[in-house]
Chain A
Amino acid sequence: MAEASNAVEQHDYDVIVIGAGGSGLRAAIAAHEAGARTAVVCKSLLGKAHTVMAEGGAAAAMGNVWPEDNWQVHFRDTMRGGKMLNNWRMAQIHAQEAPDRVYELEEWGALFDRTADGKISQRDFGGHRYARLAHVGDRTGLEMIRTLQQRAVQLGIDVFMECTVTRLLKDGDRICGAFGYWRETGSLIRFTAPAVILATGGIGKSFTVTSNSWEYTGDGHAMALWAGATLINMEFVQFHPTGMVWPPSVRGLLITESVRGEGGVLRNSDGKRFMFDYIPDFFKAETADNEQEADAWYADHINNRRPPELLPRDEVARAINSEIKAGRGSPHGGVFLDIATRRSEADIKRRLPSMYHQFKELGDVDITKEPMEVAPTCHYVMGGIEVDPDTQAAKVAGLYAVGEVSGGMHGSNRLGGNSLSDLLVFGRRAGENAASYVTGLSARPRVNESDVLAATEEALGPFENPGAENPYAVMKDLQEHMQSLVGIIRKADEMERALKEIERLKDRAKKVSVQGTGRAYNPGWHTALDLRAMLTVSECIAKAALTRTESRGGHTRDDFPQTDPEWGKVNLVLRDSRGAIDINRQPLPQMPDELKTLFEEGK
């Protein structure tokens, strides 16, 4: 600790955005354009956030490929995909505003793939009735983050890169800033700002097999909870059906749903297209029950039903899981995803270039010639900070949440492609509302010095710790427990065990110490601090999952395999109560009648 002092550098803003992925950048742009002095704070370099990993596209009912598409159809698909547990108002706003947000990207320089008549092209994805995803090959997320990054730079928005926020600061009931440290030097930093927008993404690092990067430690979820906000739907974790399984070093790495959108099919070791055996009643009416109809659908969506490979992600992930358990898996414990026999080499390379590249480079597999091996991987958390659907305001004045860290929009299961559009739609709303909240304040809240002192002690604690726990080892154990006990298929006794393990890990986490030369770019220290949020979030997931005694969307109970209509009426809301986590059932907001009629057609 020799080289860095305990001095805390201070910066004043109107709005601080924590996280520089799609939602954070979109929020910052909106706040800036609304006149607020805005800064973005992010753990990585600008442009490296998890949004770059998004591949398939941004769902928006522009109707460029199928003029029949409109926001009502998109809204309906989203709600049904989330098994009706979504916040209807968020789903409605999302479906209505997504097209304009996508056009906006184009006006800022994004180059989407085009239709023959020069419009933005749209592709098919699971759970979407029409081809709806605006895309750029299979690197849509990169295009989106680059566009937003370039826009933010053009506007001159301040950016604090490689700067980790560890605590939100409050003045009474209101947010007044945030505290953190520079990764590069380990020196401490505080922001005073009446409004903080959390855009910190998800929690995937709590699991062993995940498509998420190191950043996904649930910082925003945990900090909001500690600051008095509520979390909602935390039991719903999406396991993406198709992650890589071989070689071991890339286990969990995402294989885009576009492979199936472009015609790829799933087969078991007998070569059978097994998804026809797993069509749930809920989706029977709109899903093809034979290969002929399924294949005809790609060219004619109106007279054919969708292939079962394009069911929502929760259904496909469960089906793959069952096939593997039944002993019909591939050599390395997955199933086969076959595009090679379905599309020409040129088409595959043009439509799925990064998949081709990824398998060639990392797996020695040529996907134009052989099938891929795939298995479910932890991908996304539907749960998050409970927010007002129109403004994205959390339950603490001055706190906003957007993107994966917010909850409600996707219900119990998110449809592919709805994430990128979610970031844009609600990013803009959060930014605008945070800015107007600040404008409306009569006095700016003040930072309490004792809170800063406490945050400093907490951040530097691991250096003082005489204990000998290795932070990496604690993290690895947490991931293994979550993976095996609170994973894709859940049971009461296993989750109870998980909660006990989490308590034990909390004790161990208190004893982690930091080795090495000091605070400057010391990843051991960073990991030690990340553990706090990971443990909090893991506990939230396990507790909520144990409480919900039914199976729905991303939450599958072996001991309660049925979907229970009574559980369909409530969300689980979590709250921090002096270090313990309280769970409450909260009735779902009621959808107005004119929207209810959209679900009555029986289609």
Chain B
Amino acid sequence: MSHDQRLRVWRGDASGGDFASYSVSVEEGEVVLDAIHRLQAEQAPDLAVRWNCKAGKCGSCSAEINGKPRLMCMTRLSTFDPGETITVTPMRTFPVIRDLVTDVTFNYEKAREVPAFTPAGDNKGGKFRMQQVDVERGQEFRKCIECFLCQNTCHVIRDHEENKPAFAGPRFFIRYAELDMHPLDTLDRRKMAQHDEGLGYCNITKCCTEVCPEGIHITDNGIIPMKERVVDTKYDPVFIGLRIGRRKDREVVGPAGGTGPSPIKRPGGAPTYKPEPAASTSTALAPAPPRVQDVAGRVASGASAAATTVTKNKSAMPAVGAAAGVGFLAWAIRRKRKK
């Protein structure tokens, strides 16, 4: 029941690289990561790939498979035609380290900016009382395995290196939503989510939701409610929302993390997720090798046939994002009242 599977795998590092073609024998029921492992064991011992649990639980083996951001361990080979060549490339949004491994430090730096859960008063020794229905909202977001596929697919930073400093990305918007929905938290992170973390950049195209291997409703349950909570304070036409049924005692906070050297250590020094000039001229996102100048063009012309629905018309428009949904409504009402 085994067959020979043809694979194209991007090989290279920050200085450049290219696709290498392989043919590897695979068995029934195997996933893309199995094929990559067999390549490693039999043909390419130095093929770099990140993985751990091989069960969709740790979020290490993120890559782009035929242009689609996926976990390699959860992509079964049987979902492709046996004769099809499967193209595997590293996540495009992050700088490539080698082959399929990218530098995802960006995410760990953004994580530092999240002001931690802060319960009120003395809660030591099991005094918390919360209802299942209330914790379930946050639990959905805590299912996140930090595969960073949502970050990778988000057009605000994919091919927009310049947006990275101002934008935390979907993974962290659901973190802010989770904390905002925690029944016992006392901090108000709405302002900072908008101003410092770039919530407004998101124009809810739902690409993140589409690629989430955990099926978290990132946009509908996380980002949109968070945007609503932001406009609640920012654009409330009658200021009633501020006063009725709200937690009034929450302390408004800015980003955490401090200004000292980052505790996330990298070889030879400090983290380097700092923006570099966007080099790519490519318009196709799939199958997308890392942003190495001379390869980009070739890929764009050669392999864009496999482009998927993940990459519809998208552009980063902060102003639109901020006023999306309820914000727009609030503005419209206010305008009407003025008249």
Chain A residues at the B interface, C-beta cutoff of 8 Å: 9, 11, 39, 44-50, 52-53, 62, 99-100, 103, 106-109, 111-114, 117-121, 136-137, 139, 142-143, 146, 150-151, 153-154, 156-161, 163, 182, 184-185, 187, 189, 213-215, 246-250, 253-254, 354, 357-358, 361-363, 470-473, 476, 514-517, 520-525, 527
What residue of chain A has the Cβ atom nearest to residue B71's Cβ? A361
Q: Are A107 and B124 in contact (CB under 8 A)?
A: yes
Q: Contacts A48-B59, A52-B145, A114-B132 known; A153 to B263 CB distance under 8 Å?
A: yes
Contacts of B263 in A (CB 8 A): 153, 156-159
| Chain-A contact segment, one of B49-57, B153-161, B162-170, B203-211 | B49-57
Q: Are A62 and B57 in contact (CB under 8 A)?
A: no
Q: How far, in angstroms, from A527 to B135 measured CA to CA in the complex? A: 42
Q: Are A44 and B52 in contact (CB under 8 A)?
A: yes
Q: How far, in angstroms, from A48 to B148 measured CA to CA in the complex? A: 12
Q: How far, in angstroms, from A118 to B59 measured CA to CA in the complex? A: 31
Contacts of A156 in B (CB 8 A): 258, 260, 263
B275 at the A interface (CB under 8 A): no
- For residue A421, give the distance in angstroms from its CB to the closest CB of chain B: 14
Q: Contacts A159-B263, A184-B97 known; A111 to B126 CB distance under 8 Å?
A: no
Sort A-B residue pairs by CB-CB distance and give the 6 closest, nearest first: A247-B29, A516-B46, A109-B117, A524-B45, A118-B129, A521-B48
A521 contact from B99, B144, B256, Cβ within 8 A? B99
Q: How far, in angstroms, from A158 to B261 measured CA to CA in the complex? A: 10
What residue of chain A has the Cβ atom nearest to residue B114's Cβ? A150
Q: Are B46 and A52 in contact (CB under 8 A)?
A: no
Q: Are B264 and A161 in contact (CB under 8 A)?
A: yes
B265 at the A interface (CB under 8 A): yes
B13 at the A interface (CB under 8 A): yes
Q: How far, in angstroms, from A48 to B48 measured CA to CA in the complex? A: 17
Which B25-69 residues have C-beta < 8 A from chain A?
27-31, 34, 40-42, 44-60
Q: How far, in angstroms, from A112 to B136 measured CA to CA in the complex? A: 9
Q: How far, in angstroms, from A527 to B47 measured CA to CA in the complex? A: 12
B182 at the A interface (CB under 8 A): yes
Q: Are A214 and B52 in contact (CB under 8 A)?
A: yes
- For residue B44, give the distance in angstroms from its CB to the closest CB of chain A: 8
Which B60-100 residues have C-beta < 8 A from chain A?
60, 74, 76, 97-99
Q: Are B58 and A53 in contact (CB under 8 A)?
A: yes
B146 contact from A11, A47, A62, A109, Cβ within 8 A? A47
Contacts of B260 in A (CB 8 A): 156
- For residue B176, give the distance in angstroms from its CB to the closest CB of chain A: 13
B277 at the A interface (CB under 8 A): no
**5 contacts across the A-B interface (CB closer than 8 A):** A46-B264, A119-B128, A182-B267, A187-B267, A250-B55
Q: Are A111 and B112 in contact (CB under 8 A)?
A: no
Contacts of A184 in B (CB 8 A): 97-98, 101, 103, 266-267
What residue of chain B has the Cβ atom nearest to residue A139's Cβ? B143
- For residue A468, give the distance in angstroms from its CB to the closest CB of chain B: 12
What residue of chain A has the Cβ atom nearest to residue B75's Cβ? A361
Q: Are A111 and B48 in contact (CB under 8 A)?
A: no
- For residue B182, give the distance in angstroms from its CB to the closest CB of chain A: 7
Q: Are B182 and A111 in contact (CB under 8 A)?
A: yes
- For residue A22, give the distance in angstroms from its CB to the closest CB of chain B: 14
Q: Are A52 and B265 in contact (CB under 8 A)?
A: no
B108 at the A interface (CB under 8 A): yes
Q: Are A109 and B31 in contact (CB under 8 A)?
A: no
Q: Are A53 and B143 in contact (CB under 8 A)?
A: no
Contacts of B112 in A (CB 8 A): 153
B126 contact from A11, A119, A472, A514, Cβ within 8 A? A119
Q: Are A248 and B46 in contact (CB under 8 A)?
A: no
B139 at the A interface (CB under 8 A): yes
Q: Are A159 and B264 in contact (CB under 8 A)?
A: yes
Q: Are A185 and B268 in contact (CB under 8 A)?
A: yes
Q: Are B129 and A214 in contact (CB under 8 A)?
A: no
Q: Are B142 and A136 in contact (CB under 8 A)?
A: yes
Which one of B40, B59, B117, B179 has the greatest number of beta carbons of chain A within 10 Å? B117
Contacts of B54 in A (CB 8 A): 213, 250, 253
A48 contact from B58, B101, B179, Cβ within 8 A? B58
- For residue A131, give the distance in angstroms from its CB to the closest CB of chain B: 16
Q: Are A50 and B52 in contact (CB under 8 A)?
A: yes
Which one of A184, A354, A358 has the greatest number of beta carbons of chain B within 10 Å? A184
Q: Are B46 and A522 in contact (CB under 8 A)?
A: yes
Q: How far, in angstroms, from A109 to B114 measured CA to CA in the complex? A: 13
Contacts of A49 in B (CB 8 A): 52
Which one of A215, A524, A527 has the greatest number of beta carbons of chain B within 10 Å? A524
B30 contact from A53, A249, A354, A363, Cβ within 8 A? A249
Which one of A39, A112, A520, A522 has the greatest number of beta carbons of chain B within 10 Å? A520
B303 at the A interface (CB under 8 A): no
A45 contact from B60, B119, B124, Cβ within 8 A? B60
- For residue B98, give the distance in angstroms from its CB to the closest CB of chain A: 4
Contacts of A163 in B (CB 8 A): 265
What residue of chain A has the Cβ atom nearest to residue B46's Cβ? A516
Which B208-241 residues have C-beta < 8 A from chain A?
none
Q: Are B125 and A9 in contact (CB under 8 A)?
A: no
Contacts of B128 in A (CB 8 A): 103, 106-107, 118-120
Q: How far, in angstroms, from A153 to B112 measured CA to CA in the complex? A: 6
Q: Are B51 and A214 in contact (CB under 8 A)?
A: yes
Q: Are A114 and B145 in contact (CB under 8 A)?
A: no
- For residue A17, give the distance in angstroms from its CB to the closest CB of chain B: 13
B309 at the A interface (CB under 8 A): no
Q: How far, in angstroms, from A362 to B213 measured CA to CA in the complex? A: 13
Q: Are B60 and A118 in contact (CB under 8 A)?
A: no
Q: Are B111 and A153 in contact (CB under 8 A)?
A: yes
Q: Contacts A136-B139, A213-B53 known; A113 to B28 CB distance under 8 Å?
A: no
